[in-house]
Structure 1
Amino acid sequence: MAKLTFLWHLHQPRYRTADGRVHAPWVLLHAAGEYLTLAYALKQTGVGGQVLNLTPVFLEQLLAYQQGRAQDPLLTALATPTSELSPQSIKELVRWAFMLHPRQLSRLPRLRALAGQLAGAKDDEIPSRLPLPDLTDLQVLTVLAYAAPNARWEPLVAELLAKRRGYSQEDRRLIVEWLVGCPGKLLTLYRELADMGVEIATSPYAHPLLPLLLDTQVAAASVPPPPGGFPVFRSREDAALHVQKAQAFMAELGFSVQGFWPPEGAVSEEAVALYGEHKVAWLATDEGILAASLGHPVSGETGVAAELAVPWRLRGEGPALFFRHRGLSDFVGFKAQELPEAEAAQQFVAATVSASRHLPPEGGLLVALDGENPWSSYPEGGATFLTRLGELLAMTGELRLVTLRQRVAEEKPRELTRLHPGSWINASFATWIGHEEKRKAWELLARCREAGAAAGGESWLAAQGSDWWWWFGDDNPTLLAPLYDRLFRWHLADALRAAGKEPLAELGVPVRKGETPLTVPLSRSWPTPVLDGRTTTYFEWAVAAWVEAEGCRLALRADGDSLWVRFEGASPGKVPLPVGVTLASGSHVVRYLLPVDRPGWCAVNRILEAALPLPGGNVLMVVDAPGVRFPAWGSYRLELLEVDEP
């Protein structure tokens, strides 16, 4: 009978600097939402074959909240009685309240209405637009936006969701008290799941790109070297410390760990050898690494090759190596969200059973992905998908659910003669060193090490986390990129201070180039576009700013109230959907997923046309679409230019 394993990778970079201040509340908010959903679903279904990869940098932040060591400005804004909120706390609340996936916002009509009240508001106008009852609703709904999928397990969440609006100060107090308890509740659930047979795995302490820490020159195997070559960084000492510290940390928490998910699935022969020196029993990464190592695909339209269904060992030594099935993993991570959740679970199980019938005897499939990222985009937040998935897997009779610990005990790995160095993204390190900003960050890391930062304790390790490199460059645009840039440099400065050194002056200079100015014509007299998904007249878009990307075009114009958006694919009628447009003005951020989020104000035919409410003040915009790489990181500062004749 074919085997099946799920590996859920649970990770957040360190948002807390050495002074205890939390600069982004994602650990706390996701603890009330997606992390809790996964843990509750696994406990309810009791389905086997589950591996939870808990990163130390994530668990340490849960502990900091549980122990009161996390100074989170958003938590302060939520916990403060509404009448006592300072302007700064109101700004902090509004800053994070609407930074949601559209699916999260769609579940709460009252929260959408509050977003509408703030449309176009400058920071100093926000308090006047939010009377005290509205502020109280905003405090409660900010928590419920994440917690809503857990209503089936949490009576307080269900009760407050049913109330919809008009929340009291007691409601606010209760939901904040519940929120504060979520990190500790998660830690308890993880221990309970381990007792139930869920395997606990981990990653190097602060989630670094271990192969690049060992030697950045390894990138040349998958990334064309830039003029002058890659920056030089080599530190076996740092790499080993991340592994040692992770093992010690997990042991202190009482978790027996045998396996590691390498951060970003990044491996190299030197990195695998290092894991082996520390008695790591297994590693897991993407099938693309195996395909590049063997020289041929291992899954696709023709099915699953036998090589993907077995563990491997590099030249007969070190950890067993498992390679995930990318198609099944990506179905959960990216495609299932387009379906009703119960139907998505059924389709996944059917596809898995079908694939398993072509495996060699006792072969196995590994499904591995981030444990919190998919669920916010699911119609019901993932709860129905996960619980139904467990029920269906228990009934199939054609799959044996096993952990990777079990597979290591049962199977003899094949010998792999070479291992291609790369990450889970295209079996390459391009996402981590392939852009000038990413290389600049490696150069800065190297200079700080030379200045003594390696003696800087946890701040030094935190600065080596992979997430900072993910957000540098032009491949993953986000409005929070400047914040993540600052966090990277703050950790380095903290490390130098902890080592008794002065922070380098260059740490005050952003690694990123910043948002690119984009002049957008504003006309109140020019005919507005007809939203029909086609060029109705020449004049619709004659007054517009055009952005040329690879194989597509974006046009923008404004009329004072609306931002009009036109998006063309590489050929007529081939618009890559969905198109994401995020607009920010001051503290207020709103993201639109087009065409879903603007019914009546968006049309798709040969092109996509949409009208979006135009915020007031300085407007930042990030635009993204599947398979499209926009110039200037897809991140722009809109400069509205009046073009009407006086």
Structure 2
Amino acid sequence: MPKPLDLVFLWHMHQPDYRDYASGDFLLPWVYLHAIKDYSDMAFHLEQHPQVKGTVNFVPVLLDQLEDYVQQFTTGQIRDPLLRLLARENLNDLNTAERNLVLTSCFRSNHKSMVAPYHAYKRLSDLYKMLEPGGDIELTYLSGQYFSDLLTWYHLAWCGESVRREHDLVIRLMGKNEGFNYNDRKWLFDLIGQIVGGIIPRYRKLAESGQIELSTTPHYHPLAPLLLDINSASESIPEISLPHSKCYSGGKSRVQAQLLSAQKSHQTRFGVIPQGIWPAEGAVSTELLEVFAAQACRWTASGEGVLANSLRTAEHNLPDRANYLYRPYHLQGEASGVRCFFRDDRLSDLIGFEYSRWNGKDAALHFVSQLELIAQQAPEGEVPVVSVILDGENAWEYYPYNGYHFFANLYSELQAHSTISTTTYSGYLDRRDAAEGTQQLAKEGELPRLVAGSWVYGNFSTWIGSPDKNRAWDLLCIAKQSYDLVMVSARLNEAERLVAEKQLASCESSDWFWWFGDYNPAHAVESFDRLYRSNLMQLYCYLKLPVPVILNSPISQGSGLPEAGGTMRRGS
């Protein structure tokens, strides 16, 4: 007889801040591109399956940028260079920088799933590859019509499958194939504005119906345990190489400020204070959970490796994961009020990395069968709670049709299943609080300690420990010391102080450190290296201090991977 199981999906939505605060321009287009593809598709699948519940985590800095784009479309003052070009009437007079922007941006997609399937788009790519070795001279043969077609196809390819199915314009333009004119591009531009403007209201409506829970992350996605204590990286890797800087000064107050800002942002946008916090990169430590507890956070979550490190002792090997993974935990002491859930890495990574190569129906059935097996293996009298946590935006371009058939089948199977119950973390905790011994639920565990780590390998090696990453940390720590000195002086007025603090928060994002490393594509390493240094330079400018000369040179000393025609999957 099938046994019951509780399933929580947590879809993490995040992009770092791509705005140049000095010019107001967006330096990279990923926020609006993921909005028209992934954020819209993920909302669509939930809307089509109202009995499927889950948790969606929006990082406030992503919401800030989505609202920024909404304002741009409303006012007509477009500050994203690619969008400006899409809506530009005459593309025959592009200057060299504009031509290079289009050519370096509009093939930066997964070639197999987003370029090759469309004959006209692939022909544009082939033509560029033929001329590109000849440099700028041969590229000048590309006409305004070429750039019109390329800009149009790039944005058509980034439209989510639900957008294509719900808006005839997309299919009509794809059917036209080539020779796109200004009206075509303006219609597509207007549709992009409509979709972007609908993202936050759609998720708010799903939350108000009780189908999803919305959680948040400290505002700019900082690697909070390292801000609190850089040495916490050695808890999971004792031999790790650390930056020269011994600490990030005032780290606790910075984490508290980013958390309070996130909670305020969430309440303003969604009308409620979030009950749960997904920490950036699933990175946790005892000190961080104490900060969460002080702000009445009800739940948080992290990776399976963190739990394994925290339970493992020199005297005892871990039991089978069925006997420890699928339950909530708490710590003793100041953090005891925060319930902590841990990701099933295998199931989450099947969705993130494996199922894109499967038939959608087969993948859905396999996933459900794995859940049924977990239920059967659960300790007698316990109903396991399984956490499937991954980025809600970066895996789908590797799937046929942006994962449409996988999600349609998966959610349909789960909606009809007799013993698997999808839920949210707060909904699950509500049931525990109301049960009072009348229901069989997962046993709650108490952690004797929490070994600091993240959802990637259970440690912080993705963000610290290599020469490039450590250099990036040292530059941030030095900038923070300068920030502290200025803040105790009378150099800045109140408005200037707020601008500087916002800039510092952007510099604290975990994303900058993630991208350093020669395992990432060279073009991505270069872009994020430049953007990170630009953010630090701007911080010094806002502090009215000279910009250190060292920031003119790339941080990364490695060459990176050669460009492969696709984007690197961010996160786990």
Give the TM-score normalised by structure 1: 0.77
TM-fit CA distance, 1:582: 2.2
Higher relative contact order by CA 8 Å / sep ≥ 6: 1 or 2? 2
- 411-420 vs 216-225, which moves further: 411-420
TM-fit CA distance, 1:395: 1.3
SS at match of 1:204: coil
Aligned equivalent of 1:141, options 153, 163, 183:
153
Q: Are 2:540 and 2:546, in contact at CA under 8 Å, matched by a contact in 1?
A: yes
User: Is residue 339 of structure 1 aligned with residue 329 of structure 2?
Assistant: no
The alignment yields a C-alpha RMSD, in angstroms, of: 2.5
Q: Are 1:82 and 1:135, in contact at CA under 8 Å, matched by a contact in 2?
A: no
Map of 1:395 onto structure 2: 416
Map of 1:51 onto structure 2: 55
Aligned equivalent of 2:248, options 233, 239, 250:
233
Q: Are 1:54 and 1:202, in contact at CA under 8 Å, matched by a contact in 2?
A: yes
Map of 2:85 onto structure 1: 77
Map of 2:367 onto structure 1: 348
TM-fit CA distance, 1:258: 0.7
Map of 1:494 onto structure 2: 538
Taking the TM superposition and a 5 Å limit, the aligned residue runs for 1:191-206 are 191-197=204-210, 198-206=212-220
- 327-336 vs 423-432, which moves further: 423-432
Q: Are 1:303 and 1:358, in contact at CA under 8 Å, matched by a contact in 2?
A: no
Map of 2:267 onto structure 1: 251
Q: 1:410 to 1:70 in 2, by over 3 A?
A: farther
TM-fit CA distance, 1:505: 3.0
Please give the alpha-carbon distance, in whole angstroms, between the structure 2 residues aligned to 1:272 and 1:232: 19
Q: Are 2:518 and 2:559, in contact at CA under 8 Å, matched by a contact in 1?
A: no
Map of 2:326 onto structure 1: 309
Q: Are 1:262 and 1:284, in contact at CA under 8 Å, matched by a contact in 2?
A: yes
Map of 1:576 onto structure 2: none
SS at match of 1:7: strand
Q: Are 1:421 and 1:428, in contact at CA under 8 Å, matched by a contact in 2?
A: yes
Aligned equivalent of 2:462, options 409, 431, 434:
431
SS at match of 1:100: coil
The residue identity in structure 2 corresponding to 1:440 is: R
The residue identity in structure 1 corresponding to 2:225 is: P
TM-fit CA distance, 1:429: 1.0
The alignment of Structure 1 onto Structure 2 pairs a total of residues equal to 523
Map of 1:4 onto structure 2: 7
Please give the alpha-carbon distance, in whole angstroms, between the structure 2 residues aligned to 1:329 and 1:16: 31
Please give the alpha-carbon distance, in whole angstroms, between the structure 1 residues aligned to 2:13 and 2:243: 37
TM-fit CA distance, 1:333: 0.3
SS at match of 2:390: strand
Q: Are 1:22 and 1:73, in contact at CA under 8 Å, matched by a contact in 2?
A: yes
Taking the TM superposition and a 5 Å limit, the aligned residue runs for 1:181-200 are 181-197=194-210, 198-200=212-214
More helix by share: 2
User: Is residue 451 of structure 1 aligned with residue 482 of structure 2?
Assistant: yes
User: Is residue 100 of structure 1 aligned with residue 109 of structure 2?
Assistant: yes
TM-fit CA distance, 1:85: 4.4
The residue identity in structure 2 corresponding to 1:14 is: D
TM-fit CA distance, 1:302: 9.6
Q: Are 2:102 and 2:147, in contact at CA under 8 Å, matched by a contact in 1?
A: no
Map of 2:491 onto structure 1: none
SS at match of 2:523: coil
TM-fit CA distance, 1:63: 0.8
Q: 1:328 to 1:192 in 2, by over 3 A?
A: same
Please give the alpha-carbon distance, in whole angstroms, between the structure 1 residues aligned to 2:566 and 2:252: 42
Map of 1:222 onto structure 2: 236
Aligned equivalent of 2:515, options 459, 471, 483:
471
The residue identity in structure 2 corresponding to 1:459 is: Q
More strand by share: 1
The residue identity in structure 2 corresponding to 1:18 is: Y
Structure 2: runs of 5 or more not aligned: 434-443, 488-496
TM-fit CA distance, 1:82: 4.1
Give the TM-score normalised by structure 2: 0.86
SS at match of 1:479: helix
Q: 1:478 to 1:34 in 2, by over 3 A?
A: farther
Map of 1:273 onto structure 2: 290
TM-fit CA distance, 1:40: 1.2
Q: Any idea what the Cα deviations from partners look like across 1:31-59, whole Å, max 9, x if unmatched?
A: 11122111111111224331000000111
SS at match of 1:199: strand
Map of 1:603 onto structure 2: none
Q: 1:168 to 1:229 in 2, by over 3 A?
A: closer
Q: Percent identity at matched positions?
A: 30
The residue identity in structure 1 corresponding to 2:123 is: A
Q: Any idea what the Cα deviations from partners look like across 1:435-490, whole Å, max 9, x if unmatched?
A: 01111111111111111267512110011101100011234344121221121122
Taking the TM superposition and a 5 Å limit, the aligned residue runs for 1:336-415 are 336-360=355-379, 361-411=382-432, 413-415=444-446
